[in-house]
Amino acid sequence: MSRSQQTQVFNTAQGQESTDAGDAQKALQETEGDIGDYKSQLAKFAADNPYVQGGEFQTATNQELTNTADATAQAAKNQLQSQAERTGQNPAAANAAAEEIARQSQRTLSSDEAEATKQRIAGEEGHNKATLSASEVPAELESGLYKTAGGLTEEDLQNMENAAKGNQSFGDVFGQSFGSALGAGLGKLATGGN
């Protein structure tokens, strides 16, 4: 291969390497942007925890339990008063029974709220575990990204070194071969020819 052909091959390889480097830089920037978006979404997910005390889960659950207890007590009171009116009984007894049913509903409500609190705490634990697990992902992605980039840089340097070796003239190659042979010959001479 002539010197001009070697130069042309080297220039072509250099142009391709420049294009590859530009594409790699663009991919790196896009990946870093994706990692940033992931971090932002993760922060939003962590902040929107519905299981915190006083949060969405507890508010909705407590409201549902309270409404159920109130509706149960009110329905029982209405039924007892209606029955008392139909039968001509004293409504005071019906009111007393309705009050006892309301107290029982409140006791049941306390037990139900305690169970709902256990569920809320379990839900919060699950949410926190998911957040913690997901928070490791950006660091792993960044580590892999920079490890890959480092490996590609090392590969590029090796390719450039190999290309430079391929672009040597006859004199360069002859000089290296002659120097190696001369060094080996002097080494044998110094050790007595072994």
3-state secondary structure the chain: CCHHHHHHHHHHHHHHHHHHHHHHHHHHHHHHHHHHHHHHHHHHHHHCCCCCCCCHHHHHHHHHHHHHHHHHHHHHHHHHHHHHHHHCCCHHHHHHHHHHHHHHHHHHHHHHHHHHHHHHHHHHHHHHHHHHHHHHHHHHHHHHHHHHHHHHHHHHHHHHHHHHHHCCCHHHHHHHHHHHHHHHHHHHHHCCCC
Least trusted range by pLDDT, from 130-139, 158-167, 176-185:
176-185
- Average pLDDT on 65-70 reads 90
pLDDT mean across residues, the chain: 78
> In this prediction, what percent of the chain has a pLDDT beyond 90?
16
Predicted pLDDT of residue 12 = 81
Q: What ranges do the domains of the chain cover?
A: 3-190
Predicted pLDDT of residue 162 = 65
Predicted pLDDT of residue 182 = 47
Predicted pLDDT of residue 89 = 82
d(Cα 35, Cα 39) in Å, to the nearest integer?
Answer: 6
The answer to whether residue 35 scores a pLDDT higher than 50 is yes
Please say whether the beta carbons of 94 and 81 come within 8 A: yes
- Average pLDDT on 160-183 reads 53
| Res. 115 pLDDT band, cuts 50 70 90 | very high
> In this prediction, what percent of the chain has a pLDDT beyond 70?
75
The answer to whether residue 125 scores a pLDDT higher than 90 is yes
Predicted pLDDT of residue 155 = 64
